[in-house]
Chain A
Amino acid sequence: MVDTPKPEELIKNIDHTPPETPWEETVPDISPGNFCYPTKKKNLEYLSMPTTTVDEWSPADEEWPLPDNWQQIVHDGFKDLLGKYRSLKIFMDTCVRCGACADKCHFFIGTGDPKNMPVLRAELLRSVYRNDFTRVGKILKKIAGARPLTKEVIKEWFTYFYQCTECRRCSVYCPYGIDTAEVTMMARELLSLLGLNINWILEPAANCFRTGNHLGIQPHAFKEMIEFFCDDIEEITGKKIEPSFNRKGAEILFITPSGDAFADPGTYAMMGYIMLFEHIGLDYTLSTYASEGGNFGLFTSSEMMKRLNAKMYAEAKRLGVKWILGGECGHMWRVIHQYMDTMNGPVDFGEVPVNPITGTRFDNALSTRMVHITEFTADLIRHNKLKLDPGRNDMYKVTYHDSCNPARAMGLFDEPRHVLKAVCNQFYEMPENTIREQTFCCGSGSGLNTEEIMELRLRGGLPRANAVRYVHEKFGVNMLSCVCAIDRAALPPLMEYWVPEVDVCGVHELVGNALVMDGEIERTTNLRFEPLTDETEVEADV
């Protein structure tokens, strides 16, 4: 691992002035620390995807293991995508390089690398588009901004399209809505035609295909993990809970990212869900087959996304549930909200989701039959169906990170806030330009939360961390809540580096803390087994 500079040094040395050499002539730095490890061939083979010509290679190698006709493959693939996606065509054709998007990308803000300006990131692809597919480009070549597809360009693509977290922030400010996330998705699809994928994405995808979840947790182990949480819950609340698995005839199928079953602090959110469902007596089941809410196919190709997503509807149908409830996750909800029904619908199971406790019909999920957990919980709270003691979260001064996908690909803003404000007494918003539709990425989305690019991630996450720092200094915020499993994995190291006083949690962890369950014992700790703050102390504080 390359040494990461101290936070103060890192931020001081960020330089947004472009270099002397034009970008077309600037060779990307492909040294260790600047690239994600390419995927192991076995993952590609398992998923029947195109492979590189050798097993083991490194992007730092001079010669990349591309098939002989690589140029033709990419050209044909590009043509195919242009025929399939109006978005791609429009985005290739209409950018006027007004520069509005330039400093909206967290990777540009944190690195100062001009190719991390969304407009130039897209130009990496656009220049080849001009060369291969437009008349002006074919005639005027370089003057028209056209570049032939060379191996250097491929290297550049691999570098910078894996330095975009597909967060869509740039798209908010673009006068034509040009979404560089979409461009990145297309570019990654082209790269994957050559077998150029990263292991951090392909390994989870392959795992998910086989075992049903990214982490490769097998059915019995999945069940054990959940039961382990139930033991913890029993210790804290005195309530014994026995969730069901793969149960036919349940009313609701609950699907959440497997990260929540695997690592802190996601596990606490998982405990929160289970407690909530128990408390309201929800007739639900978990599935070991559809044990993953996330979908790393989204970061690979539309086909892979569809292949992995298919499990949700298939399982809902097999189990005969009425509808699906989805846990806290960012990209999962992009897939469910904007792709699932189109790809794997129309549904042939169940009925329009109705909250069995409140009777609320979720008309917004009429066709997809899948409801977001914060929509569900907000509805319960609104109807006073939960007994809550927000004082149990008084050790936390909470802020909320809008995850990119629920924010800009769904519009989920007020539901989680409604829940938060009900379950904790101290809630503070980060500055306006860094939340809601303007929210900043954790810096590790779209499959980039891998160790080998840690410094890049810390740089990409800087704008988010800086806003957290602001509320930390100003209000003493010490807890960063979110509704995303990748965030729960990526934000802790980010906070550790930039604002070590702040911890990370899922919204439903706080729900679990505040929820007063029927017949529970007096709680002495929160879900993390930390002692509850003395009430008097808190009052003295205020």
Chain B
Amino acid sequence: MNAAYLYSLIAVVALGLISYAGVAVAGLEGFFGIFIPYVALIVFVVGFASRIIDWGKTPVPFRIPTTSGQQKSLPWIKHDRFDSPYSTFGVIGRMALEILLFRSLFKNNRVGFSDGGGYQKIYYKWVVWLWLFAILFHYAFLVTVVRHLRFFTEPVPFFVEMLSTVDGIMQVGAPGMFLSGVVLLAMASLLLVRRIALPKLKYMSLAADYFPLLLIIGIAITGILMRHFVKVDVGAVKELTMGLATFRPSIPEGGISAVFYVHLFFVSILLAYIPFSKLMHMGGVFLSPTRNLPNNSRSVRHVNPWNYPVKTHTYEEYEDDFREKMKEAGLPVEKE
């Protein structure tokens, strides 16, 4: 098990060193600044799309929502619109709560044993941590991504500007610190610590669980480094990123710190890694049949595209088996 996070740590450190040396020693700015990002983007787009298409093409033979609330049955029984949705509207509500608020995760509780009242009691304690870390992590990630649009647009759209202003509202240091970056780093670290510190979680974790966390930590650290500690020519960075965005890539004169290339390399690796990993949950969460279907299978028939006829034991066969006994018992029969 230890091997799992060791592998991932080694991998991330190695990737960092390769890109740093590649730029600082070997001068491969073009490779790390242009070639790799484009390859990563292509892999991401093609990979992501093909995974979604593959999922989308796979049939949903049965309507199997996990019902977490009262079904719609009798008119005077209040049905649970979102936890047992009956209509598309309800399903949209359920999905929105799930995707925007991580509702199921919010229900998380921890089981424990306690001595009480003369017998061993099992108790269930609501725990908020996983939900809290996860939701802060994801929103910080989202804000960070949106904030970075400033490097790929000219003029910078107003919502990006606005978000950046709000995000930098804390006004710590100069240039101002972005809250999202710090939260992202903190939450990724907490998620990592949780994974290593909780025995059950550590037991189930794979290298593929540590790797993306470490990579994101790497991205956040290099990002914060560039903003606050290593002088990076932001103008030059924008020149490069705009070049990428407009498909007229070039490496700016005067050069950019190698830390930037490490940052960019990490991001590229992450992008290219998504389609092959559990990070596909960002697409999968929309398609999960236990969540995105209404609980109305008795009123609206669901069609299974591969439904096929099967061999059954017909009534005629049954009567043939038992006719005499049925007659004796006074049960009606079809054939005398």
Contact = CB atoms under 8 A, between A and B. Distances in A.
Contacts of A413: 69-71
Contact of B199 (A18, A210, A368): A18
B104 A174 contact: yes
A117 B102 CA distance: 21
Contacts of B306: 84
Which size class do B's interface residues fall under?
35 or more
A93 B284 CA distance: 8
Interface in A454-481: 462-463, 466-467, 469-470, 473
A17 B120 contact: no
B335 interface: no
Interface string B79-102: 110011000000000000010001
B217 to A, nearest CB: 16
Given A173-B107, A411-B71, A365 B331 contact: no
A11 B104 contact: no
B231 interface: no
Interface in B118-135: 119-122, 124, 130, 134
B25 interface: no
A89 B58 contact: yes
A401 interface: no
A174 B51 CA distance: 21
Given A314-B314, A370-B298, A342 B61 contact: yes
Given A86-B287, A342-B61, A135 B74 contact: no
A523 interface: no
Nearest to A465: B122
A288 to B, nearest CB: 6
A89 B59 contact: no
Interface string A166-177: 001001111111
A22 B205 contact: no
Given A86-B289, A382-B76, A437-B68, A342 B297 contact: yes
A119 B80 CA distance: 28
Contact of A94 (B7, B200, B285, B328): B285
Contact of A97 (B1, B67, B205, B328): B205
Interface string B220-242: 00000000000000000000000
Contacts of A425: none
A14 B114 CA distance: 12
A99 B297 contact: no
B144 interface: no
A415 B326 CA distance: 37
Contact of A288 (B59, B68, B277, B331): B331
Given A17-B199, A48-B311, A219-B322, A96 B84 contact: no
B303 interface: yes
21 contacts: A11-B120, A18-B199, A22-B1, A86-B58, A87-B290, A90-B284, A144-B206, A177-B289, A177-B290, A178-B288, A223-B331, A288-B331, A302-B62, A341-B302, A346-B301, A364-B71, A382-B76, A411-B71, A411-B80, A463-B111, A466-B122
7 interchain residue pairs of minimum CB distance: A411-B71, A94-B284, A220-B329, A411-B67, A177-B290, A433-B124, A18-B203
Interface of B: 1, 7, 51, 54-55, 58-64, 66-74, 76-80, 83-84, 98, 102, 104-105, 107-111, 113, 117, 119-122, 124, 130, 134, 198-209, 276-278, 280-281, 284-285, 287-291, 295-304, 306-307, 310-315, 318-319, 321-322, 325-326, 328-332
